[in-house]
Structure 1
């Protein structure tokens, strides 16, 4: 399986082979693919999004490297995709050797941080490794900030919570230190981060999805849509900011 360089770099110094792993927030399944490729004994990919669950299974079944059917079957046997809320993970305590969160925390609102951190700690066995890959807050002059701010405003109107929050690595490090995790290392995965035309179109689409839930009589929706489309088109793409990886460990 073809594993993105950011994922491979984040995992390269972790003891994956033979480990029971949890991918918190499966997304596109790239980290699940990376863990299975590195020889994880079991990977629990947890997501509350049914489409992401299907994407993760399909991602693992890809045959890009010419693997035979037996190899694909082996990967599937070592994978369990769980449709569940990370605030209540359906796994027993002390059952996981390695936890990964690749691009998870930027979609978690501040109100959920403590609950998710507590749950990830609960399922972690003594000596468990934790790898968090996410984004530093964008510079004030980054053009994409305007689109992300619009996305957050639309999300606040419909859901009462932001769609995106970029936490500094130091904030997440302190959060997990409060649950007994010890800091191991920090590294840069991308700098600058390439926010492509495809990425910006996807964020504009999130604005549209939120706006579609607003009452037609509000008059706000059309303004949001016009501005989101205009921003995505005018920006095109932008390379700015940093994607980081921090690793921590529970005492054995």
Structure 2
């Protein structure tokens, strides 16, 4: 199973084997794959994006059991509908389509939490709620691994593309699409909920923003532009296309990994 090097590096010093884990913001399930490869007993992959949830279920699906909608949403059962079971990888994975501010998990139920490239998608107004909810489900002694990007350097070309993506999102929804937090900001946030600093390492320096990354951000910006009035949409979309084309790809900035621990 293809697992990014950044994921392997971030998990390498964590006691994953036999642990109950939560991937907060599952994306395409890369960290879930890393946790399973390292021997996790159970992994809850949580995302609020229906397309991502479907993709992760398909990635780890073994064709047994099924997903219950309606009142049983979030629970896997066997073919008879009898009791909880876990999907694929020897029955170790459950994909939950849920808001990280209100997780369908028991209090004190998780031993390792990962947030890989999550917090750049969490706006400042939601930080406290997400931190509080992750802390609620964390058992005493839980490990929290946060992997994310520092704010891009002032001279980075991608910075202009991200600014355009944010401008389009704010005009369309009233919210920014991206916020890049220095690691110290997230360390202080979780310290307020009782977490203690364990270690920090650099995963990428510089970060390779490939052509596919640039295209993905340009596509996201153009999607927001499509929701605007023509007099706003057309010039903003044209600028997004111009900037994305001029960048092509770029290596700049830093991706870090911070590990925290909830005292036992």
1:212, distance to aligned residue in structure 2 (A): 1.5
Match of 2:187 in 1: 173
1:28, distance to aligned residue in structure 2 (A): 1.2
**Mapping for residues 83-162 of structure 1, pairs under 5 Å:** 83-162=97-176
> Structure 1 or 2: larger helix share?
1
1:77 is paired with a residue whose SS is coil
Q: Is the 8 A contact 2:60 2:88 kept in 1?
A: no
Q: CA RMSD in A?
A: 1.2
Partners of 2:96 and 2:229 in 1: CA distance: 34
Partners of 2:115 and 2:147 in 1: CA distance: 6
**Mapping for residues 71-90 of structure 1, pairs under 5 Å:** 74-75=88-89, 77-90=91-104
Q: Is the 8 A contact 1:60 1:76 kept in 2?
A: no
Choose which of 230, 237, 242 in structure 1 pairs with 2:249.
237
Match of 1:70 in 2: none
Displacement over 6 Å in runs of 4+: none
Match of 2:218 in 1: 204
Choose which of 224, 241, 251 in structure 1 pairs with 2:236.
224
Give CA deviations for 1:4-26 in whole Å, capped at 9, x if unaligned. Answer: 10000000000101100000000
Partners of 1:227 and 1:142 in 2: CA distance: 17
1:54, distance to aligned residue in structure 2 (A): 1.5
1:211, distance to aligned residue in structure 2 (A): 1.3
Structure 2: stretches of 5+ with no match in the other structure = 63-86
Q: Is the 8 A contact 2:131 2:190 kept in 1?
A: yes
Q: Give the alignment's TM-score, normalised by structure 2.
A: 0.89
Partners of 2:179 and 2:91 in 1: CA distance: 35
1:148, distance to aligned residue in structure 2 (A): 0.2
